[in-house]
Amino acid sequence: MTKFNARRCFLLVALIGITSIAGFSGRAGAQVKTRLSIATGGTGGVYYPLGGGLAALISKHIPGVEATAEVTTASVDNMKLLHADRVALAFTLPDSALEAYQGKLKGLKEKVAVRSIAAIYSNYMHIVALDGIGIKTVADLKGKRVSTGAPGSGTEIKGLRVLEAYGISPKDLRSQDRLGAAESAGALKDRKIDAFIWDGGLPTAAVLDLGATPGIKIRLIPHGDAVPKMVAKYGPLYFVGNIPKAMYGGMDADVPVAAVTNLLAAHERFDEPAVYQITKLLHEHTAELVAVHPAAKEITLKNAVTGSPIPFHPGALRYYKEKGVKVPDAK
């Protein structure tokens, strides 16, 4: 596969309908395909299946383009992959995107020229413990074995900010594991940890499977009161959302948590016609994404332009302008 820098120019050609190269290749017995990678997250979350659905849409509806969803550790690493031109599109939390845009992303000195395509669905912070082991509040996590999310994930950034709002740091834990959703659920099931933090859409497969496991009753820890402190320190990225009691097996009541809007993003250099086509697909074939994961129900023109702290890509702006949607300035 050629490097993405070299692929960009051809992607523009493919998307604006110039087909002579593909036609020539067809006569030669081989068709040229532009390969486009989408940085998602772990297999136990929502980014990966939704990214797979988007990749299928792009491959089906944009001639000459073959898109694939790549497993990653999510937001932070996705911003680094985007900066290095190793992927074309990336799912990310807005706090990670903002740090990247400002040049404050951990492990990366340069600013990332990241641009929003759309706000796609909300992430809800899950703090998951086993019922009956004495963890009922965030304060009860002190002295416990807790997974705070995979290194390079938006879960880790946001999770530590939630703990910080309660005056808890990793040193207050008995141990800090750094696992993804599926790995965390497995470790909790095996009693290797006492609780884990996961930030994801509803429902998250790993938590759903855990809640449905015979002999396991999960407890989701409420922490909506952390949001005002998080907003005061980090800006209006966060809001209080409820995880409904019917969402996962074993829940007895709705749980108020810290929520945030997910973004689909691209580099500012990514071709405007390509981003326009992808934005159009996202909004005009939403039902196909909902069939992949119900979180995609939140994808609407109104929601798409709400909650991004970074500027929108010109290709996305062109689509929203055509639809008469006003895009707020990035905060």
Residues counted in the chain: 331
Q: What is the pLDDT of residue 326?
A: 93
Distances in Å between the Cα of 31 and the Cα atoms of 23, 25, 118, 254, 271 are 8, 5, 31, 53, 22
- Domain 4-120+262-322 annotated CATH 3.40.190.10: yes
Nearest to residue 272, comparing CAs of 65, 64, 16? 16
Q: How far apart are the first and last CA of the chain?
A: 38
| Model confidence, pTM | 0.83
In this prediction, residue 31 has a pLDDT band, given cuts at 50, 70 and 90, of low
**Chain region(s) in the chain for CATH 3.40.190.10:** 4-120+262-322, 123-260
Share of the chain above pLDDT 70, in %: 90
pLDDT at 14 over 50: no
Instruction: Give the model confidence (pLDDT) of 199-233 as tens digits.
Output: 999 999 999 999 999 999 999 999 999 999 999 99
pLDDT at 264 over 60: yes
Beta carbons of 85 and 3 less than 8 angstroms apart: yes
In this prediction, residue 250 has a pLDDT band, given cuts at 50, 70 and 90, of confident
- CA pair distance 146, 239, nearest whole angstrom: 24
User: CATH number of the domain at 123-260, please?
Assistant: 3.40.190.10
Instruction: Give the model confidence (pLDDT) of 142-179 as tens digits.
Output: 999 999 999 978 899 999 999 999 999 999 999 999 99
CB atoms within 10 A of CB 286: 17
Two tokens, residue 166: 């309660």
